[in-house]
A and B are shown apart, each in its own frame.
Chain A
Amino acid sequence: MTSGMRDDQGMRQTRRWGMGVIGASLLVAFSAHAAQPQATRPVADMTGQIQQVPRQPRRIADLWFAHNELTIMLGAADRIAVTVDRPATRPWMFRVAPALYHAIGVNGPAVNAESLLQAGVDVAFVPNGSATAAALRAVGIPVLVAGFSDVATLRRSLDMTAQVIGTAQARDIAQSYEAMLDRVVHDTRARTDTLPPGSRPRVVHIQSLHPLRVDGRNTIIDEWLSIAGARNAADGVDGNMKPVSVEQIAAWNPDVLILGPDSGSFDPAADGGVWRNIAAVKAGRILHNPSGVFPWDRYGSEFPLQVAWAAQMLHPDLFAGTNMVEQTRAFYREFFHYDLDAAQAGRILAGLPPLDDATGAGPVTGTGAH
Chain B
Amino acid sequence: MERHAGWLVSGGLVLCIVVSACLGRYAIAPGVILRFIVTAMGGHALSPAQYDMVHAVLTGARLPRIGAAVCVGAALSVSGATYQAVFRNPLVSPGLLGVLAGAGFGAALGIITNMGTLGVQALSFTGGIMAVLFGVGVARMFDAASVLMLVFGGLISSALFTALMSMLKYVADPQQQLPDIVFWLLGSLTQVDVLRLEIMAGPVLVGIVALSACGRMLDALAMGDDEARTLGVPVVALRYGTIGIATGLSALTVSAVGMIGWIGLIIPHVARLLAGPCNARVVPLSAGLGAMFLLVCDDLARCLSVEEIPVGLLTDLLGVVIFISVLRLLRRGWRL
Seen from chain A, the residues whose Cβ lies within 8 Å of a Cβ on chain B are: 65, 84, 86, 89, 107-109, 208, 210-212, 234-237, 241-248, 250-251, 262, 270-274, 276-277, 366, 368-370
| Nearest-neighbor residue (CB-CB) of B169 within chain A | A108
> Knowing that A235-B306, A272-B56 are A-B contacts, what are 15 other residue pairs whose CB atoms are under 8 Å apart, sorted by A's residue number?
A107-B171, A210-B117, A210-B191, A211-B180, A211-B188, A211-B191, A242-B307, A244-B308, A247-B61, A248-B25, A250-B53, A271-B61, A271-B193, A366-B176, A370-B111
Q: Find the residue from A65, A251, A277 having the highest chain B CB count within 10 A.
A: A277
Whether A250 contacts B57 by the Cβ 8 Å rule is: yes
Chain A residue numbers with a CB within 8 Å of B310 are 243
B222 interfacial contact with A, CB 8 Å: no
CB contacts (< 8 Å) of A210 on chain B: these are 117, 191
Do A241 and B179 form a contact, CB below 8 Å, given A236-B305, A250-B26, A369-B116?
A: yes
Please report the C-alpha to C-alpha distance between residue A105 and residue B310 in the assembled complex, in whole angstroms: 33
A sample of 10 inter-chain contacts (CB < 8 A) reads A109-B174, A211-B191, A235-B306, A237-B307, A242-B308, A244-B307, A271-B193, A276-B56, A370-B111, A370-B180
From the candidates A86, A108, A211, A366, name the one contacting B190 in the complex (CB within 8 A).
A211
Q: Are B26 and A272 closer than 8 Å at their CB atoms?
A: no
Within 8 A of A (CB), among B232-282: none
B212 at the interface (CB under 8 A from A): no
CB pair A245 B116 closer than 8 Å: no
Encode B105-129 as 1/0 by CB contact (under 8 A) with A.
0000001001011000000000000
Residues of B within 8 A of A89 (CB): 173, 175-176
Mask: chain B, 173-211; 1 = CB below 8 Å from A; 0 = not: 111111110010000101101100000000000000000
The contact string, 1 if C-beta is below 8 Å from chain A, for chain B 60-71, is 111011000000
The 4 closest A-B pairs by CB, nearest first: A272-B60, A236-B306, A368-B114, A108-B174
What's the Cα separation between A247 and B302 when bound, in Å?
9
CA of A369 to CA of B305 in the docked complex: distance in angstroms? Answer: 27
**Residues in chain B near residue A236, CB distance under 8 A:** 305-307
Is B336's CB within 8 Å of the partner chain A?
Answer: no
| Given A369-B114, A369-B117, A370-B111: A245 and B175 interface contact (C-beta under 8 Å) | no
B143 at the interface (CB under 8 A from A): no
CB distance A250 to B56 under 8 Å? yes
- Cα-based distance from A46 to B24 in the complex (angstroms): 42
**CB neighbours of A241 from chain B (8 A):** 179
Q: Which chain A residue shows the least CB distance to B113?
A: A368
Contact in complex: A86, B57 (CB < 8 Å): no
Q: Which residues of A contact B55 (CB under 8 A)?
A: 273
Measured CB to CB, the nearest residue on chain B to A246 is B61
Answer whether residue B334 sits at the interface, using C-beta atoms and an 8 A cutoff. no
By a CB distance below 8 angstroms, the chain A residues around B114 are: 368-370
- Give the residues in chain A near B53, CB-CB below 8 Å: 250, 277
* A247 B26 Cβ-Cβ under 8 A: yes
Q: Which of B27, B60, B64, B65 counts the most chain A CB atoms within 10 A?
A: B60
The distance from the CB of B152 to the nearest CB of chain A, in whole angstroms, is: 34
- The answer to whether A245 touches B190, judged by C-beta atoms less than 8 angstroms apart, is yes
B98 to chain A, nearest CB (A): 25
- State whether the Cβ of B2 lies closer than 8 Å to any Cβ in chain A: no
For A248, list chain B residues within 8 Å (CB).
25-26, 306, 308
Q: Choose among B62, B116, B307 the residue that contacts A247 (Cβ–Cβ < 8 A).
A: B62
Residues in chain B near residue A84, CB distance under 8 A: 174
Set A86, A212, A246: member contacting B173, Cβ < 8 A = A86
B305 pairs with A245, CB closer than 8 A: no
Q: Which residues of B contact A270 (CB under 8 A)?
A: 193
